[in-house]
Amino acid sequence: MTQPPMPRADSSAGPTLESLRCPCGGGEVYGACCGRLHGRFAADGTLAAPTAEALMRSRYSAFALASSGVLSRAEEYLLATWAPETRPAQLALDGPADESGDDVHWLRLDVESTSGGGPFDDAGTVTFTAHFRTPAGRRAQHETSRFVRRSGVWLYRDGEVG
C-alpha cells in the first residue's frame, strides 16, 4: 500500500498545509496552531510559543513536517528553540536517535501531562508519547521534556526517555 501524496505548502489546488489538521493533534488546523509559530519564525525569527506545551507541540510538528519534506525551515526552528547549553550542532530529522532506519513516519503526539510551563513560569515539563512508524513496525517514545523560559522565550532544554 502506498502513502497518499503529501500536500505541498505552495499548492494552488486542493487543501493547503494550513487547512489540514495540525500534526500535533491539538485539534486545530495547522495554520491556526503550530503553523502560526512556524510562520512567525520564518518571517522574522520570532519565537512566539506562549507556553512550554505550545513549544513542545510546535517542535513535534516541525519534526513531523520535516520528515514529510513539507516544512523547509524545520531544522532551523528546532535548533532555535533548543537551549544553547544542550543544543546539538546539527539534527537528525529522520527519527529518534536510537532508530537507525531512515524511513520514520511520525504518526501522533499524545501530551499526557504538564507542570509549570505557563505564561508566568520560568520552567516547565511536558510528558508525552510520540508515535511513529518504521519499516520494522509501529513504535512509541515516551518522554518527559524540560523547558526553560528566558527573556520571555520558551526553550527546550532536555528530556528523559522512558
Q: Which of 69, 67, 51, 65 is nearest to 21 (CA)?
A: 65
| Pick 17 or 24: Cβ nearer Zn ion | 24
Counting DSSP H helices and E strands in the chain, the numbers are 3, 4
Q: Which of 107, 49, 51 is nearest to 78 (CA)?
A: 49
User: What is the nearest approach in angstroms of Zn ion to the Cβ of residue 33?
Assistant: 3
| Pick 24 or 49: Cβ nearer Zn ion | 24
User: What is the nearest approach in angstroms of Zn ion to the Cβ of residue 34?
Assistant: 3
User: What is the nearest approach in angstroms of Zn ion to the Cβ of residue 14?
Assistant: 21
Q: Which residues here bind Zn ion, judged by CB under 5 A? A: 22, 24, 26, 33-34, 57
User: What is the nearest approach in angstroms of Zn ion to the Cβ of residue 35?
Assistant: 7
| Pick 42 or 134: Cβ nearer Zn ion | 42
| Pick 25 or 95: Cβ nearer Zn ion | 25
- Measured in residues, the chain has a length of 162
Other beta carbons within 10 angstroms of residue 137's beta carbon come to 6
Query: Residue 53 gets which letter from DSSP?
Result: H
Which cell numbers hold the place of 72?
Answer: 523547509
